Structure 1
Amino acid sequence: MRAVQITEFGGPEVLVPVELPDPVAGPGQVLVEVAAAGVNRADALLRAGRYHRAGRPPLVPGVEAAGTVRAVGAGVTGIAAGQRVLAMGEAGAPGLYAELAAVPAEQVVVLPEGIEPAAAAALPSAWFSAWYSLRHLARAGAGETVAVHAAASGVGSAAVQIAAAAGARVIALAGTPTKTDWVTALGAHDTVDTVAHPGDAAVQEVLRLTGGRGAEVVLDLVGGPAFGQSLRMAAAGGRVVAMANVALAPSTIDTRDFYPKNVTIHGFQVTNLLELGFDPRPDLLELAEQVAAGRLRVPVESRFPLERAADAHRQLERRGNRGKVVLTVDRPH
């Protein structure tokens, strides 16, 4: 099969198209013929050797995909060859930048009609992360204010829509007027241009927009110095969810920024969540049904063929994308 491997840790150029033996579906596994694979920050961190669970090269990256079931292993029920599915992988494990992938059955969901592969491929990591953080951890609800960092990213654009659909007021933080206009079209009620309002100026803008109260929920997709800012923009009794450190910098915080306000801090990391025994399938199915029904929209701005994974990573790391970057797997007819 065709796949993309990380030959050594480094820049996008270390992503190399290769031919590998076809995997087989072992007990409890589903063999998925991949049609599209999502490109995520975790993939870029893994490639650079900066992911906290990185193995050693050669590695096939990729933590989310959609495609068709080719075969199922012993003990698998409820999934059959020929069904369209989404698949959730694990960073550092045999990944989904490939024509074929053997995935644990408990991380595979049969897709409803009406959802294309590129959109479905964005759900297992980026969209699930936003969904779980807002629905299960922060429990964002109607009448609350939700502030979303990096709102034009794949996770951020999902969070804007999920929070708005829950009846929350969304304040979207994004880096340029083009991006703030774009997230407004997705459902954000207010925006903060983080280029015009860097650092604590963004905090002051969120406080101004909320009459000094702050946001009941803050979704921190950046980490580093942004985490301290998230605590300062949180309202009394608010919830801050930290789910990334793409800044790759320490987060220095002052406990006085959260304990007097009774702010709750949640951490989220999808692989560890699965290892703790969480079954993602009901949430992934609900997400897929919402997208298929048109109630949520997965913006896929950039699509690259599998062999151009390096270019996809360059696009992601330029931070010029709005929404998802996806790899597509074309097969000769």
Structure 2
Amino acid sequence: MQAVTIQSFGDADGLAVVDLPEPEPAPGQMLVEVEAIGVGGVDAVIRRGTLGTSGFREGLVPGSEVAGRVIGVGDGVDSGWIGRRVWAFTGVGGGYVERAVAAVDDVTALPDGLSPIDAVTLGSAAPVAHFALAHARFAPGESVLVRGAAGSIGIAAVQLAAAGGARAIGVTTSSLERGERLLALGATEILDRAGNASASADSPGALSAPTGFDVVIDIVGGPDLPAVIERLAPNGRLVSVGVVAGHPPADFGMSLLRSFQRSLSFATFSLNTVPVPERNRVRADQFAAAARGELRAVVHDLLPLARAAEAHRRMDAGEVFGRIVLTP
């Protein structure tokens, strides 16, 4: 079968199309005929070597989520799954393939009306956004800043915060055009990457800088994180769910200590800490909401699997709004 592997860590040219043997489902696993593959920010982070390469080896197949139809099951798995449309988590790697294996606990059935393309756009991102907001103890009437809002996690966080009754939702983005698209999804305030106000839903281009946010959902990390901490209101909570711009400075915690009397909080969040039944329940609920039109999947582009390197180059260039999906 056709697959994409990381031949060398670094830029997108390190990705290569190869032929691999078709996998066999082990006990407790399913074999999925892949129809759509989500290209996530973590894929690019791993490929760049940002997380280090000690836990990864050249030849790794990147990607972690696929959607398609079950064509085989291993021992201990109900054969009734065969023929069903599913979303599947393949682990940290194993997704950029024509046929993938996944553990039965990492598979969610797709409702009628939800395409495989929309499934891989929402399947990992929307649960991360949901549980990150919960981790931040977000409550109706609070203000939320989503940093790095143009990606699939950020877009989901904007929609979920709006549905949850946020008083105001700020977003950081690289352009006013992107910001206006986020306003249409529920954001109320656009900030540039430096945290300066650009526009609001009421008066595009004429927003006064907000004084502080109760909750910040940060997908970016990087050297500007200390300045983002300063954007928190008293008792504000920042939850980091990604480091697409790299790790923050080693002394970023000094921003918290300098604001000691404002009782600010910083936390990280990984979906790995959520019990499997709970994350699967939330994902199934979100898929149902998307099928009803209550949660929107934003797809930047569809590309064939063989053009995975192009998808990564677009992400590296900051061109992607939503998610790129690969199709075998």
SS at match of 2:237: strand
* Two-structure CA RMSD over aligned residues (Å): 2.3
SS at match of 1:218: strand
Aligned to 1:51: 51
* Structure 2 counterparts to residues 184-203 of structure 1, below 5 A: 184-194=183-193, 198=194, 201=196
Aligned to 1:226: 224
* Structure 2 counterparts to residues 118-267 of structure 1, below 5 A: 118-134=117-133, 136-168=134-166, 169-194=168-193, 198=194, 201=196, 209-210=209-210, 212=211, 214-251=212-249, 252-253=251-252, 254=254, 255-267=256-268
Structure 1 runs (4+) deviating above 4 angstroms are 207-210, 276-279
Q: Is the 8 A contact 1:231 1:257 kept in 2?
A: no
- CA distance in 2: counterparts of 1:58 and 1:4, whole angstroms: 9
Q: Is the 8 A contact 1:240 1:265 kept in 2?
A: yes
Aligned to 1:326: 325
Q: CA deviation at 1:235?
A: 1.6
SS at match of 2:139: coil
Q: What are the Cα deviations for residues 257-316 of structure 1, in whole angstroms up to 9, with x where unaligned?
A: 55422223221133x436x76752111111111111110101101111001000010111
Q: CA deviation at 1:36?
A: 0.7
SS at match of 1:280: helix
Q: Which amino acid aligns with 2:33?
A: E
TM-score for both structures, normalised by structure 1: 0.88
- CA distance in 2: counterparts of 1:116 and 1:325, whole angstroms: 15
Q: Which amino acid aligns with 1:82?
A: G
Q: Which amino acid aligns with 2:220?
A: V
Q: In the superposition, relative to structure 1, how do residues 63 and 244 fare at CA in structure 2: closer, same or farther (>3 Å)?
A: same
Q: What are the Cα deviations for residues 51-101 of structure 1, in whole angstroms up to 9, with x where unaligned?
A: 35741111100011111111122222496111111112322x4x1100111
Aligned to 1:28: 28
- CA distance in 2: counterparts of 1:90 and 1:268, whole angstroms: 17
- CA distance in 2: counterparts of 1:291 and 1:241, whole angstroms: 25
Aligned residues: 316
Q: CA deviation at 1:48?
A: 2.1
Q: CA deviation at 1:123?
A: 2.3
SS at match of 2:23: coil
Q: In the superposition, relative to structure 1, how do residues 215 and 250 fare at CA in structure 2: closer, same or farther (>3 Å)?
A: closer
- CA distance in 2: counterparts of 1:89 and 1:175, whole angstroms: 31
Q: Which amino acid aligns with 2:257?
A: R
| Larger mean Cα displacement after TM superposition, 301-310 or 232-241 | 232-241
Q: Which amino acid aligns with 1:71?
A: G
Aligned to 1:82: 83
Identical positions, percent = 37
Unaligned runs of 5+ in 2: 201-206
Aligned to 2:204: none
Aligned to 2:303: 304
Q: CA deviation at 1:238?
A: 1.9
